[in-house]
Structure formats: C-alpha cells, structure tokens
Amino acid sequence: MIPTFAVVGHPNKGKSSIVATLAEDERILIGPTPGTTRSAHRHTFSIDDQPQYVLVDTPGFQRPRAVLDWLEARSGGASDRQQLVARFVEAHAEDPRFHDECELLRPIIDGAGILYVVDGSKPYGPEYELEMQVLRWTGRPRMALINLIGSGDYVEAWRQALDQYFSIVRVFNAVQADFSRRLALLRAFAELDENWRGALERGVEALTAERRRRLERSAVEIADCLVACLTVTESSALGQDEAQQPLEKKLTRRLQDRIRRREQEARDRVQSLYRHQALAREETAADLLAADIFTREGWELFGLSRAQLLVSGALSGAVAGGGVDVLLGGASLLLGAGIGALVGGAGAWFGSDELAKVKVLGQRLGGRVLWVGPVKVPNFPWVLLGRAVAHHGLVAEQNHARREVISLALTESQNFMDRLPDRLRRELAGLFRKISGGEADGEIRRTLGFLIAEALALEADQAPAGDQRPGGAD
C-alpha cells in the first residue's frame, strides 16, 4: 500500500507549497490568491519509477460550519461519524456550495491520512476549530503542519489548539525547508499509522540514496564540462595578406561563446537531475553567479587566491616559456578589465609577462591557419569549478515550492575554491595540468568526477541550514 496524504486546511495557507516541496514538482501552481487550488490533484513521488508516497493537493475549507451542522444533526453517536462524512460527500457531490469540502474530504474517505496546514505567522482564531472538528469526524490519522508564511510568530498559540485535535504537530516552512527537514517530516508521517511505517522508511532510504546519486551525476556533468572547456579550440584559415589581429579577436570571441554555452548546458543538466528544469536563472547583472565567466568579479570570487594557486602547484610550468599554443588571457579573457588590475601584477601571478600566445600553422599545400585555444590561464579551471560548485549548492537545496530565481550571495567570501582542503586542491591541480596538456582519457575523467563529487559534498556540509521564514502560500 502506497502511503497517501490529503493536504487540507484554510485557503491560502501554503498547502500547494507543501505538496510541491514534498513531491518535488515545480509544475504545481502556487499563488497568493485564495482559491488557487479548486480541485483535488494527486501527486505521486517516485524514484526510478517506483512510487514512494502520494500527496493530494486540495481546495481550502469554505463552509466548515455548515458541514459540521449537517453531520451533528444526523449523528447517533461516535460510531457512525466516518459513515456520515461519506454520506455528506455523496449527498453534496453536485452541490456547488460544498464543492471544495467534497473535493478535500473525498480522498480522506478513500483512505488518505490528513496533513492539516495552518499559517503560524497569523493569530489563531476559533473559526479554525470548525475545520479541525470536521477532520476529527473522519477518523483518519491526522498531523498538523504549522507553516510560516509571514513575519509574525503565533506558533505556541497554534500548538496549544492543534494538540487537542492532532497526534503530531510540526513546524514546517514549505518554501525554506531543506532536504534534511523534508526527511524529518517524512519520518514523522511514519508515526501516524503503523501500516505506513515500512513504506515510508523505505522511502526515506530511497530519497537519501537518490540524493547521493544526483550529486555523483552532477559531478560527472561538471567534470565533462571542465574537460570540454579546458580543451576547446578555434581555428580558421589566414589569408596570405590577411591581418592576424582581427581574425584572432574573432576566434577568441567564438571560443569564449563556446565555453559560455557549455557552462550553461552543464547547469541545465544539473538542474534537470534535481527536477528543477524550469528553475529560472535570470538574476540581475549584479548577481555573481549570473555574471559572465569572463569578468573580473567572477575571477576574484570563484577561483583560487594567488597563494593557494602556488600552494596547489597550479602555476608550476603552466605558462612558462614560449611554447604555449594559446593563452586566452589578459584583456581578452577579462573582456577589457585588464589582468593587472585584477591581481595587482600579471607577471607575479602567472609567471610570465606575455599572457596571450597564438599559433600560426603552415600547411603543406600552402596557406596558413590561425589557431586559438585551449585556455591555459592557471586559474581558469578553478573559476569554472567554483561557479559549478556554487550553482550545484543552490540547486540541490532549492525546494520545489520556491519559485524565485536562484541567486548567489557570497560578497563576504573571496576566492571560493580556497575552501577546499589542501589535499583535494593538489589532486585537482594535477588533473587540470594533465587535461590542459592534452590528457583526458576515461580514467582521468572518472578521477576528476570523483574529486568533484567530494568537493560538492564538502560544500553541502558547509552550507548553512535554510532560514525557516517566510513560507509560501497556496
């Protein structure tokens, strides 16, 4: 038997937000206007096509006083209450006055448990007691969730009232709840009915394992992106009398565009792994995660500091000498920002005063080819990786009731990749050197994916727990 829960309550108290979060379904309509949900909708949460539990999103109570009056007028005692609720739904199935009550009671009659949702930021009122009394008449296992939509705090008053009608009462912010809080709520569901315990415990285990698989698959996607961006090149025939500089700029722009597109493809794939296909990334230009990868701000924040580049060995031999095919650096890489302004002296950071090299290849049959790429700037892979780790952290913790665009706020944290342990930085630096040198076989890719998975897990452990207010309305 698949555990099924009807999410019920007053209109505009966050029912749909809770369903979206627990079902991982960003398609569920959520809005501040009362009555957004007009019919009951079943949402099955599955992993690998195996259903784990079902949530039924229901309309809010409209006439609980009239429903309770109808039930009390016909009741002969406690033993007939469940049957009377079923009779009420049958008798009023076509009555538009009780459309919402019938929609929310029908899945409960069919065997669903009850998740009653209230807004703990608003004062408790006696009108809610009518709803709770109707739900008690159903005889089904009941749990109350105190959602926090606004800035007020009336949680304790709500607890005192809810404890009289519900065996379990929990505070649960539908919009801010992170993965650990979702698991804790599912474990609480298991306490409602002994028949559900085994299925829900298996569901928690499946969710935990799926969480790890998503992280590992994300690491593979990020590793593939890094390899692609560290090895990408652009070339074009150079006419006998054609000036080199205009073509070099054109090829540089094409190479940058390919790297940008590849980074966006990786982000899309990571979001898809976490069922966030529609999650918007249209942040403001000031948002660092949305900033172009070839900008000063991104390099200051996401890469390694000069000190850590030296410690990790990333600089050793990276750009020394004149045999570099291409070094897409300096003003080209930073779109005019100037590498000297960024690091206070390019020679000191990169180990070479000449940052941009291009290869001009002669052809046996005559003519020349201008070759640009791959990127050889030592901090480039760290900037790419830092951006990917930051994006993954936002996506992994963003629940499906939260509909605003993802945004990164790390203004107080410079050199994002400096957080990594020394050992992990050294191992990654060694792989980056190999990849930049043309080595990118299956074993290197697998090792890179493994190390990136470790970095993602470390960042997840360091991330602060989500604030528990405000929450979302229906």
pLDDT in tens, 52-81: 999 999 998 999 999 999 999 998 888 899
φ and ψ of 45, to 5 deg: -95, 120
pLDDT in tens, 204-222: 999 999 999 999 999 999 9
Q: For residue 145, give Cα distances in angstroms to 67, 95, 403.
A: 23, 30, 21
* Cβ 56 vs Cβ 40: under 8 Å: yes
* Cβ 238 vs Cβ 369: under 8 Å: yes
What is the reported pLDDT for 293? 72
* Residue bearing the bigger pLDDT, 89 or 414: 89
* Strand locations in 205-255 (E): 234-238
Predicted TM-score of the model (pTM): 0.78
Per-residue pLDDT averaged across 112-123, rounded? 93
Count the Cβ atoms, other than its own, within 10 Å of residue 467.
Answer: 11
Interior/surface letters 161-177, b for 16+ CB within 10 angstroms, e for the rest: bbeebbebbbbbbbbbb
From CA 301, how far away is CA 386, in angstroms rounded?
8
pLDDT at 286 over 50: no
Per-residue pLDDT averaged across 294-299, rounded? 65
Length of the chain: 474
Q: How confident is the model at residue 36 (pLDDT cuts 50, 70, 90)?
A: low
What is the reported pLDDT for 265? 95
Range with the poorest average pLDDT among 216-230, 245-259, 296-310, 390-404: 296-310
pLDDT in tens, 405-416: 555 555 445 677
Interior/surface letters 26-44, b for 16+ CB within 10 angstroms, e for the rest: bebebeeeeebbeebbebe
Residue 319 tokens, joined? 């750009």
From CA 461, how far away is CA 454, in angstroms rounded?
11
Provide the 3-class DSSP secondary structure of residue 408: coil
Q: How confident is the model at residue 110 (pLDDT cuts 50, 70, 90)?
A: very high
pLDDT at 142 over 90: yes
β-strand partners of 234:
372
Q: How confident is the model at residue 25 (pLDDT cuts 50, 70, 90)?
A: confident
% of residues, the chain, pLDDT over 90: 41
Q: For residue 88, give Cα distances in angstroms to 5, 72, 78, 140, 363.
A: 21, 11, 16, 16, 87
Mean pLDDT of the chain: 79
With a CB cutoff of 8 Å and minimum separation 6, the contacts of 364 are: none
* Residue bearing the bigger pLDDT, 404 or 426: 426
pLDDT in tens, 224-273: 999 999 998 888 888 777 888 888 889 888 988 999 999 999 999 999 99
Range with the poorest average pLDDT among 25-34, 251-260, 345-354: 345-354
Q: Which of 188, 173, 174, 180 is nearest to 207 (CA)?
A: 180
pLDDT in tens, 311-333: 665 444 333 332 223 333 322 33
| Secondary-structure percent of the chain, ordered helix, strand, coil, rounded to 5 | 50, 10, 40
DSSP string, 156-207: HHHHHHHTTT-SEEEE--TTT--HHHHHHHHHHHTTT-HHHHHHHHHHHHHH
Helices 64-74, 81-91: axis angle to 10 degrees equals 120
**Which domains are assigned to the chain?**
4-174 (3.40.50.300), 214-462 (no CATH)
Q: How confident is the model at residue 434 (pLDDT cuts 50, 70, 90)?
A: very high
* Residue bearing the bigger pLDDT, 176 or 386: 386
What is the reported pLDDT for 467? 39
DSSP 293: T
Distance from chain centroid for Cα 78:
47
What is the reported pLDDT for 351? 30
With a CB cutoff of 8 Å and minimum separation 6, the contacts of 171 are: 120, 145, 146, 148, 155, 468
pLDDT at 14 over 90: no
Per-residue pLDDT averaged across 89-116, rounded? 95
From CA 351, how far away is CA 337, in angstroms rounded?
19
* Cβ 177 vs Cβ 161: under 8 Å: no
What is the reported pLDDT for 326? 32
Q: Which of 239, 257, 415 is nearest to 328 (CA)?
A: 257
What is the reported pLDDT for 290? 64
Per-residue pLDDT averaged across 378-391, rounded? 89
pLDDT at 83 over 70: yes
Range with the poorest average pLDDT among 91-95, 193-197, 367-371: 367-371
pLDDT at 155 over 90: yes
Provide the 3-class DSSP secondary structure of residue 216: helix
* Residue bearing the bigger pLDDT, 202 or 314: 202
Helices 179-189, 15-23: axis angle to 10 degrees equals 100
What is the reported pLDDT for 143? 94
From CA 121, how far away is CA 231, in angstroms rounded?
53
Residue with the two structure tokens 């005692």:
77
Per-residue pLDDT averaged across 103-128, rounded? 93
Residue 184 tokens, joined? 């804790």
Per-residue pLDDT averaged across 291-298, rounded? 66
